[in-house]
């Protein structure tokens, strides 16, 4: 149920965030247990042991670290962040200044660091993106560009059109009619994921630390000729609920609508992946045979790696012909965790 010892030692030593929720480290010399990302001074490898869950660590007589707090949901938004997000949603047109943050008792630098680490942008960039996203929603529903600009808090048409162009790469008129893909960050027991959806379907679900994520976002933008909006919509809300049930072992088949344009070959492979049953695995050869091209094993493997809707299109269920865990963009430790879950070996709980 755990990654190889050497891999866990490396991950703990390097504070590798992709192993959050995969294992916990018990320090033999102090009797405490920590997250992989604990910022405390790292003990010698000979002085650590590893656990698959906090329960195992507690049962082993270890107590939780007071610094990294492994019993708490690491990525649950702090109370001050929830307060700030509520304020943004209450008035998306507001132009936030540092003093506005101080008035709420929030240090601007603290907000900048948290949003940069968790959303890949500063708080001010996030609030601007939300303001523009809301504005584009109004335009898509028929409101004029001029009316939208001033209702959104912009002092001039020139300022609004320039902001839209910087944000979307399009003119305000073009952005108003473009397909909107809503993006949100979801926390899961196997690490944070980026999810994207149109008004009707999920188009992206990828681990945020996967190096291929920027490429996948570019492909989504090209395939849908879209603009990205940092906001949750009903499709993403449904996805979040279904993921929660999945990780609790209560859901074996997702019901949320999917849209995964690609080449004809890619779509054949991705469609075949959807037919690999929960709790089962198949090989690349099995998949190639299923689509009627048993010689296309390498091409199938490439298409598997290009899947941009992880977990739901279950590329993690594809293993080597010898039964080995091979190739997974999210990391083999995650692949093993997902297969353990589906085979009833482990139950996980969604983070915040």
Query: Which residue segments constitute the domains of the chain, with CATH numbers given?
Result: 5-64 (3.40.10.10), 75-177 (1.10.10.60), 261-342 (1.10.10.10)
What pLDDT was estimated at residue 352? 34
What pLDDT was estimated at residue 152? 46
Return the exposure string of 179-198: e unless at least 16 CB atoms fall within 10 Å of the residue's CB, then b: ebbbbbebbbbbbbbbbbbb
- Strands 48-51 and 193-197 turn out to be unpaired
Backbone angles phi, psi at 203, to 5 degrees: -120, -10
Tokens of 85: 């997000």
Give the integer Cα–Cα distance in Å for 215 and 211. Answer: 8
Give the integer Cα–Cα distance in Å for 196 and 179. Answer: 12
CA 124, 126, 129, 134 dihedral sign is negative
- H helix runs in the chain, sequence order: 5-13, 54-59, 79-90, 98-103, 108-119, 123-140, 145-151, 157-168, 172-177, 213-224, 234-247, 264-273, 284-290, 297-305, 332-342
Find out whether 16 and 25 touch, Cβ atoms under 8 Å. no
Give the integer Cα–Cα distance in Å for 187 and 266. Answer: 28
What pLDDT was estimated at residue 135? 60
Find out whether 337 and 191 touch, Cβ atoms under 8 Å. no
Q: What is the DSSP string of 202-236?
A: EEEEEETT-TTHHHHHHHHHHHHTEEEEES--HHH
Residue 315, CA distances (Å) to 30, 240, 332 in order: 41, 19, 12
Tokens of 221: 């933008």
> Which parts of the chain sit beneath pLDDT 70?
1, 18, 73-77, 117-120, 133-177, 345-352
Find out whether 229 and 182 touch, Cβ atoms under 8 Å. yes
Most distant CA atoms of the chain, gap in Å = 67
What pLDDT was estimated at residue 203? 96
pLDDT in tens, 111-129: 888 787 666 678 888 887 7
CA-nearest of 330, 289, 332 to 313 is: 330
Give the integer Cα–Cα distance in Å for 106 and 86. Answer: 14
Q: Pick the catalytic residue: 34, 38, 226, 315?
A: 315
What global pTM score does this model have?
0.65
Q: Name every residue whose Cβ is closer than 8 Å to that of residue 173 and which is 6 or more positions away in sequence.
A: 145
CA-nearest of 207, 240, 239, 203 to 338 is: 207
DSSP, collapsed to helix, strand or coil, labels residue 108 as: helix
What pLDDT was estimated at residue 123? 87
Annotated active-site residue 34? The verdict is no
DSSP, collapsed to helix, strand or coil, labels residue 46 as: helix
What pLDDT was estimated at residue 221? 87
Give the integer Cα–Cα distance in Å for 86 and 82. Answer: 6
Q: What is the DSSP letter of 269?
A: H
């Amino acid at each position: 149920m755990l990654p190889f010892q050497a891999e866990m030692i490396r991950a703990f030593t390097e504070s590798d965030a992709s192993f959050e929720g995969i294992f916990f480290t018990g320090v033999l010399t102090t009797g405490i247990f920590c997250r992989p990302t604990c910022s405390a001074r790292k003990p010698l490898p000979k002085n650590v042991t590893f656990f698959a869950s906090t329960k195992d660590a507690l049962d082993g007589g270890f107590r939780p670290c007071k610094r990294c707090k492994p019993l708490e949901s690491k990525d649950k938004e702090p109370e001050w962040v929830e307060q700030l997000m509520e304020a943004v949603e209450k008035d998306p047109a507001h132009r936030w200044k540092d003093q506005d943050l101080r008035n709420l008792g929030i240090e601007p630098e603290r907000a900048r660091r948290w949003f940069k680490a968790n959303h890949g942008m500063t708080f001010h960039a996030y609030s601007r993106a939300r303001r523009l996203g809301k504005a584009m929603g109004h335009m898509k529903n028929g409101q004029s560009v001029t009316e939208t600009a001033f209702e959104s808090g912009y002092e001039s048409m020139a300022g609004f059109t320039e902001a839209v162009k910087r944000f979307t790469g399009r003119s305000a008129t073009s952005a108003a009619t473009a397909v909107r893909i809503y993006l949100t960050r979801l926390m899961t027991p196997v690490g944070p994921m980026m999810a994207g959806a149109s008004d009707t379907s999920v188009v992206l679900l990828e681990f945020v630390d996967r190096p291929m994520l920027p490429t996948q976002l570019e492909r989504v933008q090209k395939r849908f000729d879209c603009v990205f909006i940092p906001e949750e919509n009903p499709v993403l809300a449904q996805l979040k609920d279904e993921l929660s049930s999945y990780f609790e072992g209560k859901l074996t088949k997702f019901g949320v609508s999917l849209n995964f344009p690609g080449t004809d070959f890619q779509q054949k492979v991705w469609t075949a992946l959807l037919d690999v049953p929960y709790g089962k695995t198949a090989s690349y050869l099995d998949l190639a045979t299923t689509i009627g091209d048993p010689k296309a094993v390498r091409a199938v493997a490439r298409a598997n790696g290009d899947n941009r809707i992880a977990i739901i299109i279950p590329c993690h269920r594809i293993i080597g012909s010898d039964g080995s865990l091979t190739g997974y963009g999210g990391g083999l430790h995650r692949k093993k965790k997902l297969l353990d879950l589906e085979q009833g070996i482990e139950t996980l709980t969604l983070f915040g």
